[in-house]
Amino acid sequence: MEHIAEYPDPFDLFRIWYDEAGGSSLALPNAMSLSTVRNRGSSASRMVLLSSYDRRGFVFHTNYESDKGVEIAACPRAALLFWWEPLNRQVRIEGAVERTTAEESDAYFAGRPRGAKLGAWASDQSRPLPLRETLEARFREIEAHHEGAPVPRPPHWGGYRVTPSSFEFWAGRENRLHDRIRYERTPEGWTAVRLCP
């Protein structure tokens, strides 16, 4: 793995690894596990797609009223995990979570496929659904309502940004002598340490 001194800022190393994942055989290099905390103290994880990232943090989009939205509202911290199997690499990220601005959410929503926009209106994400036909009928109603017109972003749908307080980069090696580098954010900037596998 790269020498720590070469990458004092973890965002620089993430960009290199993410670009390499994008050039690999992975179908969804932007897929990541999102872990949140439930109100009873247990954890919950699910796969989501990274929408974008920059030095402010890592953005994903969802229904604010979904289970993850409710959990983030109660405990605005999360952990992300990228696993890029063809490269035998993973990146763990932990940090605080906040909603992106309405303008950012509008801009992202505007670029989504029309069907995904309609689905955001039709689905009461995480709520019980006795019959699949109910969801499909709701989708058709929304589609008819917006026929020939733009589909606006639902008020219950938008982006979240995870602002990292730590990164851990892991690269698999023979004999399970893996490489691990952990970065921690401090008031002075990032500190890095190599860890035993």
The residues assigned a catalytic role are 176
- Asked if 52 and 111 touch (Cβ cutoff 8 Å), the reply is no
| Nearest-angstrom CA–CA distance, 185 and 189 | 6
Cα torsion at 19, 55, 5, 88 (round to 10°)? -30
Cβ count within 10 A of residue 134: 11
φ, ψ at 5 (rounded to 5°)? -60, -25
Residue 95 in 3-state DSSP? Answer: strand
Closest alpha carbon to 77 in 57, 62, 91, 47: 57
Q: Which residues pair with 189 in a beta bridge?
A: 186
Structure tokens at 59: 């953005």
- Asked if 93 and 167 touch (Cβ cutoff 8 Å), the reply is yes
Structure tokens at 27: 């179908």
Angle in degrees, 0-180, between the axes of helices 132-145 and 114-122, rounded to the nearest 10: 120
